Amino acid sequence: MSNESLANLMTETRRFAPPAEVVAGANVTAAAYEAAAEDRLGYWAEQARRLSWEREPTETLDWSNPPFAKWFADGRLNVAYNCVDRHVEAGNGDRVAIHFEGEPGDSRAITYAELQREVSQAANALGELGVATGDRVAIYMPMIPEAVIAMLACARIGAPHSVVFGAFSADALATRIEDADARVVITADGGYRRGAPSALKPAVDEALTRPGAANVRNVLVVRRTGQDIPWTSGRDVWWHEAVGRQSTEHTPEAFDAEHPLFILYTSGTTGKPKGILHTTGGYLTQVAYTHHAVFDLKPETDVYWCTADIGWVTGHSYIVYGPLANGATEVLYEGTPNTPHNGRWWEIVEKYGVTLLYTAPTAIRTCMKWGDDIPARFDLSSLRILGSVGEPINPEAWIWYRKHIGGDRTPVVDTWWQTETGAMMISPLPGVTLAKPGSAQTPLPGISATVVDDDGNEVANGSGGYLTLTEPWPSMLRTIWGDDQRFLDTYWSRFEGRYFAGDGAKKDEDGDIWLLGRVDDVMLVSGHNISTTEVESALVSHPRIAEAAVVGATDPQTTQAICAFVILRGGAPQEEGLVEELRAHVSKELGPIAKPKRILAVEELPKTRSGKIMRRLLRDVAENRELGDVTTLTDPAVMDLIQTKLPSAPSED
Ligand code: 6R9
């Protein structure tokens, strides 16, 4: 028996020094850590100067009523002006802001000058529809330029947006419209996914039949696919008509730094989704700073691509606000990675000469499964920095990413953050950090994070526990929309005076931070708290395993037993003795305590649209329970597939 908060079972000894050319030209050097440690608030005040303020803030942080922070409170600025107009004024109107690549292969380059005109038109159209400063606008869109334009238009007039994933159901959309009391919905007839038009508008129509959505006056509809859609005259308005006829000029008004910028609902595994509220000045400061520091962005020469959906916080912070505030040129891709072929992403990297790529571990593991030969067919030599976000990246996937996508040359930055944190918090710096595959390593300059035990005491190096953030940061959530008490209870009550992220983590012998998954997923096996991440990493380091998800299932002998769901590389059939071999492999990597009791080969794992494995559903399967809410799954049918497999499950010895 041990009373550790979370076991530390895995060691990783590989190290990668930053390449000389990245070190030589790095935007941020080791000196930043010292400067920020000496004067944290001064450091953030300096970062705020990357933005153009109509009124410069004189106060950096007001923490007089914790945890309700005010950053740069007496400053005033306009987010859309910062992301668009100022680049045009600086003489960069002809620079491409967005290279749009549609799934069917259509493409469109939008310069900053064009973006300024279109955002202005959209802002004028929203005004004409009666959207006033402070009104909420719901956005339910495919990954097309109008989604970005719609968000910027809302920001321009100070109307907080609430973007809802295009794949969410009418129900999920209705709940979010109701909670934010949205007045207008911006959508499209549909978008292209997996080679076919997929409708969006009917879900909006259905959502608007719910009583909670009664305050929605108008639906602004982009024509993307041209498919037939139902139409409610008087309420529904075509984008190309209502926006197209507007003046291309619009004067942006400055708002207080603490004016609400957007609400974004977390995937919320249980209960009512939480509307995470972000505000203006602090948020924009930190997304711009981190995008500059962690991607080492050179706006004149880099081509940046983040593969996330704008319905996820990564899309908000690192497709829309961070890159555009920095005047970047970026790719926006509408479709799936395997349409029309498994090399589509790499074809896009080659086509646009992408230099900075930001994606999720789940996508990397999927590409590993498809085979090394696929990226090898494309010229990926333009790439210079690779980023990862969304889940812990297991060391094997990190190494594959660096080798097969980054030509064994590029730094890989594993960035830990959350919808709630608004921007990156823990990440290596590409020109500074000696990289360790699988670890997010160090809090960024100006960020304070540590790992604590059950009693809130900092753990020693080499031990595991709970990740906490110990000082306020500019892009922190300000509250849960309409529910301050839930904000306090969820994030600020577990550890006195600290933000509790809900993630397990450990500090290694050097003090570097390793993320170990959600604490709700931690397994209790014979008195040991074992993280799902370490067992999954060990499984995936076996050559036959492409992906793995483990859960703790109730067990009479050991409290919980480790049950693993694995996807075999190169597909079935499963050779005899494989299960035993895998159990022995995990035992060798992590110790006998972490050996899965059951291992089940499956075709797919249940994932959210942002690529996170929904272990809660796998726990339902492992404990033969009826499935919980599956509405946020990418593909609810995978659960049927997994369940039909269960009776023939290879079980323990
Ligand atoms: C940005 C985003 C947040 C949760 C977070 C953690 C997991 C994200 C990670 C990571 C390990 C990383 N997570 N990045 N875990 N290493 N680099 O993903 O926001 O959708 O709110 O999810 O995702 O568990 O708490 P969000």
Residue ranges per domain, the chain? 526-643
More confident residue, 608 or 568: 568
pLDDT of residue 99: 98
DSSP letter at 334 equals -
Whether the Cβ atoms of residue 276 and residue 420 lie closer than 8 Å to each other: yes
Ligand 1 pocket test, pick from 294, 386, 393, 418 with the greatest ligand atom count within 8 Å of Cβ, gives 418
Q: CA triplet 417, 277, 335: central angle to 5 degrees? A: 60
80: helix, strand or coil: helix
Average of per-residue pLDDT across 190-199: 95
> What values do phi and psi take at 359, rounded to 5?
-145, -170
pTM greater than the 0.85 cutoff: yes
557 is in an annotated binding site: no
pLDDT digits (tens, 9 = 90+) for 311-332: 999 999 999 999 999 999 999 9
503 lines ligand 1 (CB under 6 A): yes
- Quick one: pLDDT band at residue 646, thresholds 50, 70, 90? low
509 is in an annotated binding site: no
- By DSSP bridging, strand 107-111 and strand 96-101 are antiparallel
393 CA: nearest ligand 1 atom: 16
511 is in an annotated binding site: no
418 is in an annotated binding site: yes
Per-residue CA distances from 347 to 291, 312, 425 (Å)? 24, 24, 31
Per-residue CA distances from 115 to 95, 123, 171, 324, 399 (Å)? 10, 12, 33, 10, 38
390 lines ligand 1 (CB under 6 A): yes
502: helix, strand or coil: strand
pLDDT of residue 653: 31
Find residue 379's DSSP bridge partners: none
Per-residue CA distances from 276 to 163, 268, 475 (Å)? 12, 11, 12
CB-facing half-sphere around the CA of 410: CA atoms within 13 A: 28
415 lines ligand 1 (CB under 6 A): yes
Evaluate if residue 647 carries a pLDDT over 60. Answer: no
DSSP letter at 629 equals -
Whether the Cβ atoms of residue 23 and residue 477 lie closer than 8 Å to each other: no
47 is in an annotated binding site: no
Whether the Cβ atoms of residue 615 and residue 532 lie closer than 8 Å to each other: yes
Fold of 526-643: GMP Synthetase; Chain A, domain 3 (3.30.300)
Per-residue CA distances from 80 to 153, 315, 325 (Å)? 7, 16, 8
Q: Which residue has the tokens 């600025």?
A: 77
Q: How far apart are the first and last CA of the chain?
A: 24
DSSP letter at 639 equals H
610 CA: nearest ligand 1 atom: 20
Evaluate if residue 346 carries a pLDDT over 80. Answer: yes
More confident residue, 642 or 386: 386
State the chain's mean pLDDT as an integer. Answer: 94
Cβ atoms within 10 Å of 640's Cβ, excluding its own? 10
DSSP letter at 6 equals B
Evaluate if residue 275 carries a pLDDT over 60. Answer: yes
Evaluate if residue 640 carries a pLDDT over 80. Answer: no
- Number of helices (H) and strands (E) in the chain: give both, helices first: 22, 30
Burial letters 292-303, b for 16+ CB under 10 A, else e: bbbbbbeeeebb
Cβ atoms within 10 Å of 627's Cβ, excluding its own? 18
> How large is the angle between the packed helices 637-645 and 615-622, nearest 10 degrees?
30
392 lines ligand 1 (CB under 6 A): yes
pLDDT of residue 649: 38
519 lines ligand 1 (CB under 6 A): no
pLDDT of residue 269: 54
pLDDT digits (tens, 9 = 90+) for 427-478: 999 999 999 999 999 999 999 999 999 999 999 999 999 999 999 999 999 9
Burial letters 243-263, b for 16+ CB under 10 A, else e: beebeeebebebbbbbbbbbb
309 lines ligand 1 (CB under 6 A): no
Whether the Cβ atoms of residue 549 and residue 536 lie closer than 8 Å to each other: yes
Evaluate if residue 631 carries a pLDDT over 80. Answer: no
Ligand 1 pocket test, pick from 358, 503, 533 with the greatest ligand atom count within 8 Å of Cβ, gives 503
Can you tell me the distance from the alpha carbon of 469 to that of 92, in angstroms, rounded to the nearest whole number? 38
Can you tell me the distance from the alpha carbon of 429 to that of 419, in angstroms, rounded to the nearest whole number? 21
User: How close is the Cα of 7 to the center of ligand 1, in Å?
Assistant: 20
User: How close is the Cα of 423 to the center of ligand 1, in Å?
Assistant: 11
- Quick one: pLDDT band at residue 73, thresholds 50, 70, 90? very high
- Max Cα–Cα distance, the chain, nearest Å: 73
313 lines ligand 1 (CB under 6 A): yes
pLDDT of residue 270: 58
Per-residue CA distances from 145 to 98, 152, 345, 417, 538 (Å)? 8, 11, 18, 25, 40
Ligand 1 pocket test, pick from 309, 386, 417, 424 with the greatest ligand atom count within 8 Å of Cβ, gives 417
DSSP letter at 459 equals P
> What values do phi and psi take at 478, rounded to 5?
-95, -30
145 is in an annotated binding site: no
More confident residue, 641 or 318: 318
Whether the Cβ atoms of residue 330 and residue 303 lie closer than 8 Å to each other: yes
pLDDT of residue 624: 85
- Quick one: pLDDT band at residue 650, thresholds 50, 70, 90? very low
Can you tell me the distance from the alpha carbon of 40 to that of 45, in angstroms, rounded to the nearest whole number? 9
User: How close is the Cα of 467 to the center of ligand 1, in Å?
Assistant: 12
- Residue nearest atom 4 in ligand 1 by C-alpha distance: 418
pLDDT of residue 633: 67
Evaluate if residue 163 carries a pLDDT over 50. Answer: yes
pLDDT digits (tens, 9 = 90+) for 526-576: 999 999 999 999 999 999 999 999 999 999 999 999 999 999 987 767 888
249: helix, strand or coil: coil
Whether the Cβ atoms of residue 452 and residue 468 lie closer than 8 Å to each other: yes
Ligand 1 pocket test, pick from 313, 416, 531, 609 with the greatest ligand atom count within 8 Å of Cβ, gives 416
E-strand ranges in 494-582 read 499-507, 513-518, 523-525, 528-530, 545-555, 559-568
Whether the Cβ atoms of residue 160 and residue 257 lie closer than 8 Å to each other: no
Which residues, in sequence order, are CB contacts of 90 under 8 Å at separation 6+? 327
pLDDT of residue 272: 81
Percentage of residues in the chain having pLDDT higher than 90: 90
Evaluate if residue 603 carries a pLDDT over 80. Answer: yes
User: How close is the Cα of 409 to the center of ligand 1, in Å?
Assistant: 26
pLDDT digits (tens, 9 = 90+) for 477-509: 999 999 999 999 999 999 999 999 999 999 999
Per-residue CA distances from 412 to 40, 395, 405 (Å)? 26, 11, 10
- Quick one: pLDDT band at residue 648, thresholds 50, 70, 90? very low
pLDDT of residue 652: 34
Residue whose C-alpha is closest to residue 646's, from 613, 615, 624: 624
User: How close is the Cα of 42 to the center of ligand 1, in Å?
Assistant: 28
Find residue 265's DSSP bridge partners: 275
User: Which own/partner contact pairs does 641-645 have at CB distance under 8 Å and 24+ positions apart?
Assistant: 641/602, 641/603, 641/604, 642/565, 642/600, 642/602, 642/604, 642/606, 642/618, 645/600, 645/601, 645/602
Can you tell me the distance from the alpha carbon of 258 to that of 433, in angstroms, rounded to the nearest whole number? 34
Can you tell me the distance from the alpha carbon of 414 to that of 439, in angstroms, rounded to the nearest whole number? 7
User: How close is the Cα of 403 to the center of ligand 1, in Å?
Assistant: 24
418 lines ligand 1 (CB under 6 A): yes
